[in-house]
Structure 1
């Protein structure tokens, strides 16, 4: 029976959908990266949708479980997300700058640690979405993001009617880190390895990895999830283990992405993620 469940688990698919209405408000007109921006990404009426077929279930509070959920994220109150940069997305590894730069060398740009998340009516540098995934089977499940299936895993702009389009402008700057509930480690408990979804696969640049004592930032090569990279371990279901695996999806606008520019002000975007169960023969 256990072997049958394990085989079944390998074919499970969990699909999650983040939907946002977003406008980008900037105070200057240069078309450069984030250090040319003094404004924020203003979010209105965001919605989070998730579904989990077969014997996977999903929850946003750890108590109410279903095969699909819809979470209203501050629907009645606007909030703002300011651009930031990070290698892992964990606490104390996400940075922002108040300096204005011409888009050239930023070696003297000063950075600070971003400690404020966006919340109802408030501005912050990231948005945290708490989630739980559990299985009803008696075998553990490894979960990954299916980054290869771009029909269901993507960030795309919304058109004027609020529909998802094939255009990717400001949406390419979206990043999502998968963290454990402490938020100082990734969802697998490692504080050094990034488990970050990148909405812009063409971006191979550097991000801010840490800051020096004088406040200048150190740029490091970015590292993002590939297909079949495990980002969550879901324990087997039992009488004493009914909560599954809790984790946090941390969303930010990557300032080092060349699409985080004034020219993309006023854009809106949607995010869709598909999680898949993977077996022991795939890469971790």
Structure 2
């Protein structure tokens, strides 16, 4: 299983801690071109902690994501390579108007502190966005090889 890990640094300049979460209605995974590409329907991502030992932000797919084949090898919320389950074993489909932010999908950001200042900026919280193409998806087939997909992630402060 292949995947890519993208480090992401999020910070608050406020004095109090804050929680952020992916805006499930505005974030999206879409086709890379207008040529009826389907591979984006097999793409998933998860937001992991800095050490990549825990899924702290949920597991996500496109709202058009294809269903898995029967008897999938891995559960829906399982991440590749690690067999690491999300806090809830469900994949959240982006773009749904009734999307909800569950407690397990909130990312804690520390507030400003004297010991947290580096070069005049506050210490950010590091997370990892793990992106992969779900091999069990009906859209993960040879005819969809070499296609492109696009990501748009929107984070919001939440209570």
TM-score by length of 1: 0.41
| Alignment match of 1:155 (pick from 29, 33, 37) | 29
Residue 95 of structure 1: aligned partner: none
Alignment of 1:1-284 (within 5 A): 84=1, 125-149=2-26, 153-159=27-33, 165=34, 167=36, 169-187=38-56, 195-200=58-63, 202-203=65-66, 205=68, 206=72, 208-209=74-75, 223-225=90-92, 226-229=99-102, 230-241=105-116, 242-279=122-159
Measure, in 1, the Cα distance between the counterparts of 2:49 and 2:111: 18
Q: Is the 8 A contact 1:170 1:260 kept in 2?
A: yes
Instruction: Mark the structure with the bigger radius of gyration.
Output: 1
Q: Deviations over 1:242-277 (max 9, x none)?
A: 313111111111112211111212321111111111
Runs of 4+ in 1 over 3 A off after TM superposition: 165-168, 200-207
Measure, in 1, the Cα distance between the counterparts of 2:21 and 2:40: 22
What is the Cα deviation at residue 157 of structure 1? 1.5
Measure, in 1, the Cα distance between the counterparts of 2:20 and 2:46: 14
Q: Give the number of equivalent residue pairs.
A: 131
Q: What secondary structure does 1:178 align onto? A: strand
Closer, same or farther: CA 136–142 of 1 in aligned 2, 3 Å: same
TM-score by length of 2: 0.70
Q: What stretches of structure 1 of length at least 5 have no aligned partner?
A: 1-83, 85-124, 160-164, 189-194, 210-220, 280-284
Q: Is the 8 A contact 1:234 1:245 kept in 2?
A: yes
Closer, same or farther: CA 185–250 of 1 in aligned 2, 3 Å: same
Measure, in 2, the Cα distance between the counterparts of 1:253 and 1:173: 5
What is the Cα deviation at residue 228 of structure 1? 2.1
Q: Is the 8 A contact 2:41 2:65 kept in 1?
A: no
What is the Cα deviation at residue 168 of structure 1? 5.6
Higher relative contact order structure (alpha carbons within 8 Å, sequence separation ≥ 6) = 2
Q: Is the 8 A contact 1:175 1:252 kept in 2?
A: yes
Q: Deviations over 1:30-73 (max 9, x none)?
A: xxxxxxxxxxxxxxxxxxxxxxxxxxxxxxxxxxxxxxxxxxxx
Measure, in 2, the Cα distance between the counterparts of 1:155 and 1:250: 14
* Aligned residues: CA RMSD: 2.5
